[in-house]
Amino acid sequence: MRASLPIVLLLALLTGAILLDKPRQAAELTFINRGEVHTLDPQRMSWLQDFRIANSIYEGVVAHDNDTFEILPGVAESWEISPDGLTYTFHLRRDAKWSNGDPVTAQNFVYSWRRALFPDTAAGYADLFYKIRGGQAFFNWRSEQLASFPQQAAGLSQSKRRDLAARLFAEAVQRFSDTVGLRAPDERTLILTLEVPTPYMLDLLAFGPFMPVHPPTVERYVSLDPATGSMRQQHGWTKPPHLVSNGPYVLDVWRYKRDLRLKRNPSYWNPLAAVSDSVLCISVEDANTAVLAYETGTIDWLSDVGVDYRADMLAQKKRYMERNAARYEELERQGLGYNEILAILAKESPPRAGERNDIHAFAAFGTYFYNFNCQETLNSGAFNAFKDARVRRAFARSVDKQAIVDRVTRQSQPVAHVLIPPGSLAGFSGADGLRYDPALARRELADAGWSDRNGDGRVEDEAGNPFPTVEILFPSVSEHKAIAQAIANMWERELGVRTRLREEETKVAATHLQEHNFMVARGNWYGDYGDATTFLDLHRTGNSNNDRNYSSPVFDDLMARADAELDPEQRLRLLEEANAMIENEEIPLLPLFHQVTLYMYDPARLRNVSTHPRLTQFLHELEVAR
Amino acid sequence: MTAMIVRRLLQAPLILLIIYTVTFALAWLLPGNPLDKPEGRRPPVEVQEAMKAQYSLDNPVKFYVSYLDQVSGLAWLRDRGGGDEGESADAPLAARPIFNLGPCLQYEDWSVNEIIGGALPVSVVLGLVALVFALAIGLVAGVVGAVRPGSWMEVATLLVALIGISLPSFVIGTALLIVFAVWLEWVQVAHWGSPRDLLLPALTLSLPFAAYIARLTRLGMIEVLSADFIRTARAKGVSEARIVLRHALKVAFLPVLSYLGPAAAYVMTGSFIVEKVFNIPGLGQHFVNSVLNKDLFVIMGVVLTYSTMLVLFNLTVDILYRWVDPRIEQG
């Protein structure tokens, strides 16, 4: 009898536990996001998956068109820009409401943007707000004010410290309204003054970090920390049912690494904006399980295909497209887009065995590249051969990028000779970049003083010292490793140098990249907004993303002149000049290929998928045909 | 017995403190910056500094002390006692957890308490079902193997045990998924919440344990069945079924019982692989991911939760053990 007690206990516990758990509710559209959502606080966001949700639950003063990325009205129904390009006046629509029925006011935007400029918030995109007049100065002023807190508060009692923190905070708020170019003269007028004319400012304002939060809700979670004097913000307000938002959807359910569900926002001013009544985003970590979830109909859209066999799936898609190439062209001539054509083809000619039509590779706004360390010496103090632009050019010209795309990655990525994906920025003509030319590469290397002087197949300098072993840093991911091996082989073969692979755990590699602790390293960049500076800023001296530590007074000067230039055309020409200098001469980084994003969806079922490279993909516009 | 329980309960905090200290040292020494994103854009330097200061990541001693204060519940007690003069005024006192495991650094909107609060019940359910499966399969296989040595049934049970122990769960799990979800469509992929979703992952998770239990039972049974009291029972004409189930199994079950403690803790804190293959929102993934992300608070929180469970399960098993088998010395 006694022996059965543990078993009875076990069964009782089990029944109780099963009764406690709630299964998820189905939705009209179900998808798997690019990764787990990090935060729903717009001012702290920096991941694509977060922005994707933000675009459907919040609305900025202006909004993007999902397909063209043109600027559309958002909370503001109209706006004026002063002739000098510095002052923007927005007129907010009367019917813009928060999900609790409160009106969306100009003061709400002032509050939200102010949060981003408080260092206490530690907003990842704080520097975008530096475009606002006085923004950066305010950020630094508050940082100094906080730095002085421990000294001022020394020896004070807990409640005195709290008072001091409150006084400093009030001072900061006052200083913000006095010095920062942001005003709300009335509930429906928002006036924004910039530091310098920024032709892409509206594009930024449609971007996640500029979306508003509901101040009374957020304020309930804000307190002042008597230990540091800084404003502490808890994140309870981003969870349902607390979250109050102003977009087409509101948050219904959010369970960490489980699911996130959106439902229609009854207070949203445009009830037609949301196509589906509800959207469910499920968290799936394993790439194989994600594909299985699509194949078995659990989800309608897989927004990132990470399985090892994706190249084979793409080959099946290619077979399908080749078989239907003539019909595709015919439909294309009638003015139909990719998705419409595939929907028609799905009916006319369904995929046969060994073919598929449900994986889609779209050009993304990003590039995969290799960084050259451009410092005078390496971090270890050792000689750095890559400080010489001729050496960098030689290494860039000896990489056969087509071979890498065709034989290593096999995901139909376009080969990249430049960092900025060609054609992705209206009016901006990119540079040519350097092509694969091993003979010229060897000449450039010889010009830099490196040639095979003793006939051992390796290059040496005049004193006979061999070229330092080229160390390639990359994160421990099989794809990066395969690419690194291919490039190492090319450099050994074409240039006569020795190479060494330095594979490190992802997080460690990221830290070493930031510390410039490498010789050559794998890198990656996606543009944030529709202007060349979203790429070119990487090369500015001291930029926090300048992993290469590249520094050129000539380049910095060109960029500074572009910043100050009032004429948009002239500004573009300056940026083009700066870009050409980087891509044709300086090569601080070696572009390999432009990124593609792989989606899985049935073209006959899922409609309104945007093929725009910025790939934010508005959830409220996606439609599942039933 | 009471003295034993009291002594063990008094030891527990000390054990946990040692685990806390060792885990903290290891986690702090992990290379990489917890606030760094592995990919993409980095905020300006001044913002990175502001982020570090926010979580006291700039000073190990400060971190060790203040986190211990929060985790142990001391901060909570002090705030209760000291009225509204608390050290941290993060949230209304009523809403603050007693054992505050801190914020999650990677997924900023979540606290470690919320994460574990969501994942632990899932892991407990899955673990318990797996444990029931393991016991059922293991005991039946073990008894059959011992009672009918040399029969095809013994060969079959040995085979099951061999497969359970030697095949990794990502192979078994994936195979089960393909057969039952993709081909037969009996269960949904990447779905969690209904009892049906439990079957495949629990079976996958249970197999290695079932195999081990089968071996323990089989060995125990073979030994017990040749013991004197069994021969006596047989001589007295007790039916064979009664001998096996009532007399022999009771003794042979004891080693299984002592194995159940660590096994329960292990299955309930989740298996990373089973969770990954079946996409189960349990605790196991946080073990692995927190280390990869160097998310200090999650690492510490998960390890402390796991350790506490382990300590408690071992204690429970020891109590049960004495309850079931009075032959064991008390105290």
Domain carrying residue A171 = 52-236
pLDDT for the residue numbered A73: 97
Non-local CB neighbours of A479 within 8 Å, separated by 6+ positions = A409
Give bridge partners of residue A91 from the DSSP assignment: A78, A189
Neighbours of A101 (CB within 10 A): 9
Q: What value of ipTM does the predicted structure carry? A: 0.83
pLDDT for the residue numbered A551: 97
Distance from CA of B83 to the nearest CA of A (A): 12
- Each domain of chain B, given as residue ranges in start order, spans 2-112, 121-281+319-324
pLDDT tens by residue, A328-367: 999 999 999 999 999 999 999 999 999 999 999 999 999 9
- Same domain as A375, residue A226: no
Q: How would residue B83 be classed by pLDDT, with cut points 50, 70 and 90?
A: very low
Q: Tell which A residues from 512 to 551 touch B, by Cβ distance under 8 Å.
A: 514, 524-526, 528, 544-545
What average pLDDT does the segment B141-149 reach?
A: 83
pLDDT for the residue numbered A21: 62
Q: How would residue B90 be classed by pLDDT, with cut points 50, 70 and 90?
A: very low
Q: At what angle do helices B284-293 and B112-147 cross, to 10 degrees?
A: 130
The answer to whether A3 faces chain B, any CB pair under 8 Å, is: yes
What average pLDDT does the segment A592-607 reach?
A: 95
What average pLDDT does the segment A569-596 reach?
A: 96
| A-chain residue closest to B56, CA distance | A228
Q: How would residue B85 be classed by pLDDT, with cut points 50, 70 and 90?
A: very low
What average pLDDT does the segment A453-467 reach?
A: 91
d(Cα B70, Cα B97) in Å, to the nearest integer?
9
What average pLDDT does the segment B147-156 reach?
A: 81
Chain B residues with CB under 8 Å of A226 CB are 87, 89
The answer to whether B294 faces chain A, any CB pair under 8 Å, is: yes
> Are B36 and A511 a contacting pair at CB < 8 A?
yes
Q: Is A402 a member of any domain?
A: yes
pLDDT tens by residue, A17-42: 666 666 678 899 999 998 899 999 99
* CB distance A607 to A459 below 8 Å: no
Q: Which two tokens stand for residue B254?
A: 């004891």
Q: How would residue B93 be classed by pLDDT, with cut points 50, 70 and 90?
A: very low
Phi and psi (nearest 5°) for B193? 145, -25
Weakest mean pLDDT among A231-235, A367-371, A403-407, A411-415:
A231-235
Looking at per-residue pLDDT, the higher value among B7 and A138 belongs to: A138
* CB distance A133 to A193 below 8 Å: yes
Q: Is the pLDDT of residue B139 over 60?
A: yes
Non-local CB neighbours of B149 within 8 Å, separated by 6+ positions = B222
pLDDT for the residue numbered B88: 43
d(Cα B258, Cα B306) in Å, to the nearest integer?
18
What average pLDDT does the segment B257-267 reach?
A: 82
pLDDT tens by residue, A263-307: 999 999 999 999 999 999 999 988 988 998 999 899 999 999 999
Task: Tell me if residue A259 falls in helix, strand or coil.
Answer: strand
Q: Is A67 a member of any domain?
A: yes
Q: Where are the beta strands (DSSP E) in A395-513?
A: 470-475, 499-504
Most confident of A128-132, B166-170, B264-268: A128-132
| Burial class, A28, CB count within 10 angstroms (exposed 0-12 / middle 13-18 / buried 19+) | middle
Chain B residues with CB under 8 Å of A41 CB are 108-109
Tokens 């960092």 belong to residue: A419
CATH of the domain at A207: 3.90.76.10
Alpha-carbon Rg for chain A, nearest whole angstrom, is 27
Q: Is A555 a member of any domain?
A: yes
Q: Is the pLDDT of residue B170 over 70?
A: yes
pLDDT for the residue numbered B328: 66
pLDDT tens by residue, B233-242: 888 888 888 8
Q: Tell which A residues from 302 to 361 touch B, by Cβ distance under 8 Å.
A: none
Smallest CA-to-CA distance from A63 within A73, A53, A54 is with A73
What average pLDDT does the segment A431-457 reach?
A: 94
What average pLDDT does the segment A214-240 reach?
A: 90
The answer to whether B37 faces chain A, any CB pair under 8 Å, is: yes
d(Cα A148, Cα A505) in Å, to the nearest integer?
38
Q: Which two tokens stand for residue A325?
A: 């190439």
How much of chain A exceeds pLDDT 90, in percent? 80
pLDDT for the residue numbered A7: 67
The answer to whether B29 faces chain A, any CB pair under 8 Å, is: no
Homologous superfamily of domain range B121-281+319-324: MetI-like (1.10.3720.10)
Q: Where is the domain boundary, A204, A236, A268?
A: A236
Q: Tell which A residues from 130 to 159 touch B, by Cβ distance under 8 Å.
A: 139-140, 143, 158-159
d(Cα A92, Cα A71) in Å, to the nearest integer?
15
Neighbours of A167 (CB within 10 A): 13
The answer to whether B181 faces chain A, any CB pair under 8 Å, is: yes
> Are A507 and B324 a contacting pair at CB < 8 A?
no
Smallest CA-to-CA distance from A456 within A448, A467, A446 is with A467
Distance from CA of B91 to the nearest CA of A (A): 7
pLDDT for the residue numbered A358: 96
Non-local CB neighbours of A595 within 8 Å, separated by 6+ positions = A363, A364, A365, A366, A367, A368, A413, A524, A526
What Å distances lie between residue A223 and A117, A122, A226, B52, B57, CA to CA?
Answer: 17, 15, 9, 19, 21
Distance from CA of B24 to the nearest CA of A (A): 18
CATH of the domain at A451: 3.10.105.10
A75 HSE (CA, 13 A, CB side): 32
pLDDT tens by residue, A544-559: 999 999 999 999 999 9
B106 HSE (CA, 13 A, CB side): 24
d(Cα A440, Cα A141) in Å, to the nearest integer?
52
| B-chain residue closest to A116, CA distance | B47
Distance from CA of A290 to the nearest CA of B (A): 8
Which residue among B46, B285, B320 sits closest to A119, beta carbon to beta carbon? B46
- Same domain as A232, residue A369: no
Q: Is the pLDDT of residue A567 over 90?
A: no
> Are B41 and A255 a contacting pair at CB < 8 A?
no
Smallest CA-to-CA distance from A38 within A30, A26, A29, A47 is with A47
> Are B279 and A285 a contacting pair at CB < 8 A?
yes
d(Cα A183, Cα B9) in Å, to the nearest integer?
61
Q: Which of A118, A169, A258 to mutate to test the interface with B (most CBs of B within 10 A)?
A: A258
What average pLDDT does the segment B121-127 reach?
A: 86
d(Cα B129, Cα B203) in Å, to the nearest integer?
8
Q: Is A42 a member of any domain?
A: no
The answer to whether A296 faces chain B, any CB pair under 8 Å, is: yes
Q: Where is the domain boundary, A187, A215, A236?
A: A236
Q: Is A424 a member of any domain?
A: yes
Smallest CA-to-CA distance from A124 within B262, B29, B50, B326 is with B50
Which residue among B38, B128, B181 sits closest to A510, beta carbon to beta carbon? B38
The answer to whether B38 faces chain A, any CB pair under 8 Å, is: yes
Distance from CA of A523 to the nearest CA of B (A): 8
What average pLDDT does the segment A203-216 reach?
A: 96
Distance from CA of A535 to the nearest CA of B (A): 11
Which residue among B47, B293, B320 sits closest to A126, beta carbon to beta carbon? B47
Give the predicted TM-score (pTM) of the model: 0.89
Chain B residues with CB under 8 Å of A125 CB are 43
> Are A119 and B279 a contacting pair at CB < 8 A?
no
What average pLDDT does the segment B289-310 reach?
A: 88
What average pLDDT does the segment A607-625 reach?
A: 92
Looking at per-residue pLDDT, the higher value among B22 and B78 belongs to: B22
Which residue among A46, A120, A292 sits closest to B41, beta carbon to beta carbon? A46
Smallest CA-to-CA distance from B299 within B27, B15, B51, B13 is with B27
